[in-house]
């Protein structure tokens, strides 16, 4: 390569020797460390644009606690933040659950994930959180003196969210015209496209700027480039996924109105300029709700049940999507399911009501179901 890259080991092995020197007593905790970095996956195959790449950006959190109880309590908090970001900003529904032992992060005692479904019927993992117990603190001597003067090892957690989540958002909401970005996340929420001819140009642009001023507080862009036709501008902003377009021409100027066009549905309506700020705000919220609802319906309609290994395979082969299967928790049964249908157990969703059901592999009691799917 022309440009040299410096590769470093995983954060745990790089950071924890130093972290061990930062912790002296129980008063130093909890300690929470946040960092952004690029990850390079050295052993790697089957790249998929944005979703699975050799290099990606992520945010990782590392935390240290004096007790196991405090450390475990963090799971709800962090997964709650991730659920909020994915649902309320990216408009992505998903299943929050616990990973199986074989899918747990190496070195961790438990891993929790959010699992999403892509439009092609494949599953993809979103953000995750790991309970590391004292595994790393014992290996790296991250110890402290507790209230009674005894040496103790810290309880640690780690968690991460990556740019893959942006890929999931693009795949789930996008259409043949390009990206569809949820309003709460969009860098540009509204684009104003003036429609002008030579005579009306100055007057329309002057009023379009007033219209812009009335939308202060939102992320708005006026596209006053004069080398492109309105049609070209429409295409360009649709490709980029701007949620709402405001069209404003000489006739609108005369009538004191503007035309709103939604990116998600293509729906068009004319509104009076006096009520424009409120109408735009309402429309953006409606788009945000619609994207989440549409994705939630797709997820619900493509999550099915299977009561046997044969049914699991048949369902996945004919329909794709996610499949709920009752599982006893045994690793051998997990392996059989993997072989039977060419996918894997994604997680065991939280908040289930125990059911009187049998494991689809061995027939033993299995009160909980696991989510199964094919992945990239
Ligand atoms: Zn079983």
Largest CA-CA distance found in the chain, in angstroms, rounded: 84
Rounded distance from Cα 132 to ligand 1 centre (Å): 27
Rounded distance from Cα 118 to ligand 1 centre (Å): 28
Which residues are near ligand 1, the ion (C-beta closer than 5 Å)? 328, 330, 333, 359, 361-362
Query: How high is the mean pLDDT of the chain?
Result: 95
Q: Does domain 190-286 have CATH number 3.30.1050.10?
A: no
Rounded distance from Cα 361 to ligand 1 centre (Å): 5
Rounded distance from Cα 131 to ligand 1 centre (Å): 25
| Rounded-to-integer distance, Cα 334 and Cα 104, Å | 13
Q: Look at residue 260 and tell me whether its pLDDT is greater than 90.
A: yes
Class of domain 11-173: alpha beta
Rounded distance from Cα 368 to ligand 1 centre (Å): 11
Rounded distance from Cα 349 to ligand 1 centre (Å): 17
pLDDT in tens, 116-171: 999 999 999 999 999 999 999 999 999 999 999 999 999 999 999 999 999 999 99
- What are the respective helix, strand and coil percentages of the chain, to the nearest 5? 35, 30, 35
Rounded distance from Cα 358 to ligand 1 centre (Å): 8
pLDDT category at 5 given cuts 50, 70, 90 is confident
pLDDT in tens, 166-187: 999 999 999 999 999 999 999 9
Q: Look at residue 4 and tell me whether its pLDDT is greater than 90.
A: no
State CA 89 to chain mean position distance: 9
| Rounded-to-integer distance, Cα 324 and Cα 374, Å | 13
pLDDT for the residue numbered 44? 81
Residues near 131 by beta carbon (within 8 Å), at least 6 away in sequence: 71, 72, 75, 108, 109, 110, 111, 157
Rounded distance from Cα 356 to ligand 1 centre (Å): 14
Q: Does domain 303-373 have CATH number 3.90.1150.10?
A: no
Rounded distance from Cα 305 to ligand 1 centre (Å): 16
Where do the domains of the chain lie? 11-173, 190-286, 303-373
pLDDT in tens, 339-369: 999 999 999 999 999 999 999 999 999 999 9
Rounded distance from Cα 360 to ligand 1 centre (Å): 7
The fraction of the chain above a pLDDT of 90, given in percent, is 89
Across 194-203, 304-313, 319-328, least confident range: 194-203
pLDDT for the residue numbered 9? 83
- Mean pLDDT, rounded, for 8-20: 89
Rounded distance from Cα 363 to ligand 1 centre (Å): 6
């Amino acid at each position: 390569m022309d440009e040299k890259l410096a590769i470093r080991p995983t954060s745990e092995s790089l950071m924890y020797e130093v972290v061990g020197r930062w912790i002296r007593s129980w008063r130093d905790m909890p300690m929470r460390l946040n960092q952004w970095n690029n990850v390079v996956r050295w052993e790697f195959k089957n790249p998929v644009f944005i979703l699975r790449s050799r290099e990606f950006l992520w945010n990782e959190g590392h935390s240290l606690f004096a007790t196991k109880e405090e450390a475990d309590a963090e799971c709800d908090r962090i997964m709650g933040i991730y659920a909020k970001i994915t649902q309320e900003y990216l408009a992505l529904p998903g299943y929050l659950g616990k990973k199986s032992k074989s899918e747990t992060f190496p070195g961790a005692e438990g891993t929790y994930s959010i699992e999403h479904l892509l439009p092609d019927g494949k599953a993809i993992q979103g953000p995750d959180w790991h309970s590391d117990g004292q595994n790393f603190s014992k290996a790296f001597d991250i110890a402290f003196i507790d209230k009674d003067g005894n040496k103790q090892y810290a309880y640690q957690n780690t968690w991460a969210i990556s740019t893959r989540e942006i890929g999931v958002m693009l795949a789930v909401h996008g259409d043949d015209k390009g990206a569809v970005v949820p309003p709460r996340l969009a860098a540009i929420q509204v684009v104003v496209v003036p429609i002008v001819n030579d005579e009306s140009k100055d007057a329309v642009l002057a009023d379009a700027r007033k219209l812009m001023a009335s939308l202060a507080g939102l992320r708005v862009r006026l596209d006053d480039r004069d080398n492109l036709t309105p049609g070209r501008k429409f295409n360009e902003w649709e490709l980029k996924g701007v949620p709402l377009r405001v069209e404003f021409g000489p006739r609108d100027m005369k009538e004191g109105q503007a035309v709103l066009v939604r990116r998600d549905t293509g729906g068009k309506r004319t509104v009076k300029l006096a009520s424009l700020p409120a109408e735009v705000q309402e429309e953006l919220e409606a788009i945000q709700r619609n994207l989440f609802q549409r994705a939630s319906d797709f997820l619900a309609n493509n999550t099915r049940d299977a009561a046997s290994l044969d049914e699991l395979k048949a369902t996945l082969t004919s329909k794709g999507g996610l499949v709920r299967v009752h599982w006893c928790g045994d690793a051998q049964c997990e392996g059989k399911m993997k072989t039977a249908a060419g996918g894997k157990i994604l997680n065991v969703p939280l908040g289930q009501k125990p059911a009187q059901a049998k494991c689809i592999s061995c027939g033993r009691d299995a009160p909980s179901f696991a989510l199964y799917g094919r992945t990239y």
